[in-house]
Structure 1
Amino acid sequence: MPFTALGLISPLAQAAAGRGYAVPTPIQREAIPAVLAGRDVLASAQTGSGKTAAYALPLLQGLLDRRHEKTRHPRALVLVPTRELAQQVGETLHDFAKSLPDALRIAVMFGGVSINPQLMGLRGGADLVVATPGRLLDVVVHNALRLGSVATLVLDEADRLLDLGFAEELGRILEQLPKQRQTLLFSATFPPAIAALATSALRDPLRIDVPAEPESAPDIAQRAIEVDPSRRTQLLAKLVKDEGWPRVLVFVATKHAAEIVADKLRKTGLEAEPFHGVLSQGKRSQVLADFKASRVQVVVATDLAARGIDVVQLPAVVNYDLPRSAVDHVHRIGRTGRAGESGVAVSFVSAGTEAHFRLIEKRQGAQVPREQIAGFEPAPLAELAPGAVAPSGTGGVKGKRPSKKDKLRAAAAGKSS
């Protein structure tokens, strides 16, 4: 089925082909006609399924159809959780918009950089704005933007918008939007909080669920390697070298861990860089550019920072620290195995994180065989004092940190022994 059969004009259909879409993906086949018809959409599909194009293409066509409505303020708004994703979505929209007969004004706004250039960029107005919630509200406070003309709202990666604490900002934004509007909610997962948001923000939405089909599911081989927390960095360096991965994305729990692990990897001779929210936008952009150009072999990232990373032919991801939830696990491993490529997702599992990894397996409906690497076998678990908790090495996995009662019991046991 060609894109034109979905109602897209020829220039946009050709632009889609230029981005590598020979035919529409399942999510695009279902979403594009509904968006063009003006319906609210609640869409769920696997990571890397073409969700951005599924709303970007009809969104641009709708803006082109409404060019006669003269206004300096945006008629479409796309909200995303991270600055990297804002840049990625902005680049996609700009690429598609180049094919249109009339130019559209697209503004991309995010924090971490000076607001002044973004305010200057809005002086000529904007047809479409892509933004993170906090920076959008800052721009509104500066009276550089009004949201009363927005006809279509897109919430991209909606689960992360809520997970990352944007619920209050999102509520403030929704209050400033017209009640009569089209709302499109796209996400890879739909926890209960998203269902509540959909109920309040969408009107009779078309629900689209596109499961991973066997022939199109990402080819991602999962490995679970048992290793003591203190040996993970050495094992990671060995795997990168032995497996010959030209690029690998490593997930850790904290910004501090990203710095420490990257530094230790550099000492083994690997080109490694940390990637987290404290870094300046210039530094983050440089790390991504070097990673994509293979000048950096290993990027050690936190979950929040890594959400916007989209690297073609990324062969491997490593869970140095286990994710805090099964949802995060889905997002992490989805960084590899994209666009028909194969990939591997490695998780380091210790005695303290085994139970949590079993929960992740249960939630994703899979079992990953445990393996050990010669020379890195975990030491036998020492006899624990009553009430003591095995060291987890997770950096804060939910439910795995000792409570105050655990600590008191352990202290009491130490005094009585």
Structure 2
Amino acid sequence: MAATTTENILKETMQRYEEDASDDKSFEELGVDARLIRALLKKGIDKPTPIQRVAIPLILEGKDVVARAKTGSGKTFAYLLPMLQKLFANVDRKKQAPNAFVLVPTRELCQQVYIEVVSLIELCRVQLKVAQLNSNMQASDLRAALTGPPDILISTPACLAKCLFDGVLQPASINATLETLILDEADLLLSYGYENDIKSFTPHVPRSCQCLLMSATSSTDVDKLKKLILHNPFILTLPEVGNNKDDVIPKNVQQFWISCPANDKLLYTLAVLKLELVQKKVLIFTNDIDMSFRLKLFLEKFGIKSAVLNAELPQNSRLHILEEFNAGLFDYLIATDVSQSKEKDEAPKEGKGSRKSRKHKLKLDSEFGVVRGIDFKNVFTVINFDMPRSVAGYVHRIGRTGRAYSSGASISLVSTDEMETLEEVKAFVGDDENKGSNTIVEFPFLTKNAVESLRYRAEVIYHFLFSFTLEEKTCKQP
């Protein structure tokens, strides 16, 4: 009986907040601190997004929240604003450990969240300290960063587990001090292999701690985290207002697909770019690191300047490439989505497989993720050179364009082996219920004759480039 009553209360509460979210409320009406509102205005943000209108009042009331909304919908500020407001209330409090933890799946997302937090704090002129940690830091550096201690800690779960293992953070201090725990991109945390790291940490989270899970998709991993992390009985799932599937991919993003043989994907990519059939900037996703280098070398022979972004590159190189891409020094970026690669699933377990496979795996940065957590500026077109292996992977990739309600487009090159994935994506975004809304259609601007006109030269270039090993031909990043 008690469980039923609680469920009814949650449903009524959720309905009330969703009704409020449909209203065009201001940040002030949501109860946001005046200092934060002024900071937002300086950033050019004058009104909340739908997910912010739903989530902010709930978080300010101290409720545990699971917020699901599409990429680019404003989830980061949906949790940062109430988190900071809570800390503003008692800046001079004594503490043994940070009051707020923000855990994210990738190092790049750590950097992005850190920049946003520091910017808001500086604009509000409040004395709060923020620490950003990563697993490559030595124990001495971790201790130095946590001296104080800081008010906010931004990290990956692996780094937090390392801090506990090395004694940099004390479980008792966390239990006595932690007030807010945020898991951003919650649907990726377990898929990135952080489950054991999270489990090592959760026993030390006090029951009074407010826990927030932010996600772009619903998944069994999010459900698992809810059971593992959340203590407060008010657990509310907050889909974007309307709760329609076509909201997951913005209606302002046109989605296309091209049928092509697997061994002609280089040719078709060349045709689309060389004939200028898509608008720049262009983000191209591959599932394989070697193929990303091949594509880069191939396009360069036709005067198309690009760069690659993958987990084999050191973080400083990745940041440099991203800065140049965002600054417009080149218009084409080839990103490898290792989470969608067959090699990830087929990688040998410890003690098994070839030495070569294990060596290759060690090169990859486990805290790097290109699908989310990287702030790509002004990307208009996303090209799936390889189809992702799941609908969720497709949604995350397309979320790199059409951000903040700007227009965008996507093109997926689909081989015979990938048709099943395409059908799954079509069913998700264009089923009967959503007919006439956001669907995927064949790309109408590339003709067979246009492709064939480039075939002879493309094949000559391909054989010239790749008659040698890839390692002999791979050049440095621009």
TM, length-normalised to structure 2: 0.74
SS at match of 1:103: coil
Q: CA deviation at 1:113?
A: 6.2
Closer, same or farther: CA 117–285 of 1 in aligned 2, 3 Å: farther
Contact 1:76-1:129 at 8 Å conserved across structures: yes
Q: Write the distance in 2 (CA, Å) between the matches of 1:211 and 1:325.
A: 24
Equivalent residues in 2 for 1:16-35 (5 A)? Answer: 16-35=40-59
Q: CA deviation at 1:211?
A: 4.2
Question: 2:157 is matched with which residue?
Answer: 133
Contact 1:252-1:300 at 8 Å conserved across structures: yes
Equivalent residues in 2 for 1:218-297 (5 A)? Answer: 218-241=251-274, 242-243=276-277, 245-297=279-331
Q: Does 1:356 align with 2:428?
A: no
Equivalent residues in 2 for 1:317-396 (5 A)? Answer: 317-365=382-430, 367-371=439-443, 373-375=447-449, 376=451
Aligned residue type for 1:181 = C
Partner deviation per Cα, 1:312-359 (whole Å, 9 max, x = no partner)? 321110111101110111110010011221111110011221122111
Question: 1:408 is matched with which residue?
Answer: none
2:108 to 49, 62, 84: 84
Equivalent residues in 2 for 1:177-192 (5 A)? Answer: 177-192=205-220
Q: Write the distance in 1 (CA, Å) between the matches of 2:442 and 2:217.
A: 27
Aligned residue type for 1:123 = T
Gaps of 5+ in 2: 1-24, 338-368, 432-438, 453-478
Q: Write the distance in 2 (CA, Å) between the matches of 1:239 and 1:20.
A: 35
Closer, same or farther: CA 19–243 of 1 in aligned 2, 3 Å: farther
Q: Write the distance in 1 (CA, Å) between the matches of 2:296 and 2:373.
A: 20
Contact 1:72-1:127 at 8 Å conserved across structures: no
Partner deviation per Cα, 1:48-89 (whole Å, 9 max, x = no partner)? 110000000110111121324212520100111111111111
Q: Does 1:208 align with 2:248?
A: no
Q: Write the distance in 1 (CA, Å) between the matches of 2:139 and 2:273.
A: 39
- How many residues matched? 377
User: Which structure dedicates a bigger proportion of its chain to helix?
Assistant: 2
2:133 to 100, 103, 109: 109
Q: Percent identity?
A: 32
SS at match of 2:370: helix
The alignment yields a C-alpha RMSD, in angstroms, of 2.2
Q: Write the distance in 2 (CA, Å) between the matches of 1:359 and 1:255.
A: 25
Gaps of 5+ in 1: 378-417
Q: CA deviation at 1:25?
A: 0.9
Q: CA deviation at 1:143?
A: 2.8
Partner deviation per Cα, 1:229-248 (whole Å, 9 max, x = no partner)? 22212321332231363321
Partner deviation per Cα, 1:165-186 (whole Å, 9 max, x = no partner)? 2111111121232232110011
SS at match of 1:363: helix
Moved more, 42-51 or 99-108: 99-108
SS at match of 1:138: helix
1:310 to 363, 368, 375: 375
Contact 2:258-2:412 at 8 Å conserved across structures: yes
Q: Does 1:45 align with 2:69?
A: yes
Q: Write the distance in 2 (CA, Å) between the matches of 1:169 and 1:363.
A: 32
SS at match of 1:98: helix
TM, length-normalised to structure 1: 0.84
SS at match of 1:136: helix
Q: Does 1:176 align with 2:204?
A: yes
Q: Write the distance in 2 (CA, Å) between the matches of 1:227 and 1:217.
A: 26
